[in-house]
Amino acid sequence: MAKIKSNRTSTRKDVIISKAAILFREKGYSATSMRDLAEHVGVEAASLYNHISSKAEILQEICFRVATNFMSHIEEVEQSKKTEIEKIEAILRYHIKMMVERYEEVYVSDREWKHLTDPYLSNMQGQRRAYRQRIGKIIEDGIAKGEFKKIDAPTAVLIMLHAVSGIESWHRSKRKIEGDQLENSMVEILVGGLQKP
């Protein structure tokens, strides 16, 4: 029987979660079975249960790992001495980097979280709402300080996050620009659109 190959930086559970993220993105959470995952990992389905209890646990791990990363980052940004425009740029750059470098996990967390069950579903809904509100507060502070145009902050947050979510099409593109170029172009367009001339 094959064994799950791990390395010094990742456990066997990490390997399972990483492979699951790929399948959940490709097939969707609902359409992916534990048998599919076992085949993708290269082991018998029974071997998976030595490391995880269910498909639901995998989705929870993916969603909350991503959420924790984003929450930790925004806390650092909020506590920094950056201007509001610099804070928004830092948040945006982090989002883009995560979508480029950890695409599968971020995609699944963003698109498949609705398949979580309570109490995890309510927790995730609350975190997503709080995260958007925190970005909106930075924009509102920027407006008050004269750094940003007088715009509706929730709408600006919605546009920014949807634009970053659209990086999915960059991953599918056969003639895509480099990740750094993508990041700089998006920052110039999105942050530039907020700034007062």
**In a shared domain, residues 46 and 64:** no
How many domains would you assign to the chain? 2
The answer on 104 and 20 residing in a single domain is no
* 10 strand-pairing partners: 7
- Nearest partner of 182 among 197, 196, 171, judged by Cα: 171
Q: How far apart are CA 56 and CA 117, in angstroms?
A: 8
Entry pTM: 0.89
Q: Are residues 4 and 90 in the same domain?
A: no
3-state SS assignment for residue 10: strand
SS (H, E, C) 61-76: HHHHHHHHHHHHHHHH
Question: Is residue 197's pLDDT more than 80?
Answer: no
- Say yes or no: 22 and 88 in one domain: no
Enumerate residues 6+ apart whose C-beta is below 8 A from 74.
91, 131, 134, 135
Which residue did the predictor score with more confidence, 46 or 99? Answer: 99
Is residue 10 pLDDT above 90, yes or no?
no
Q: Say yes or no: 89 and 135 in one domain.
A: yes
Mean pLDDT of 113-122: 97
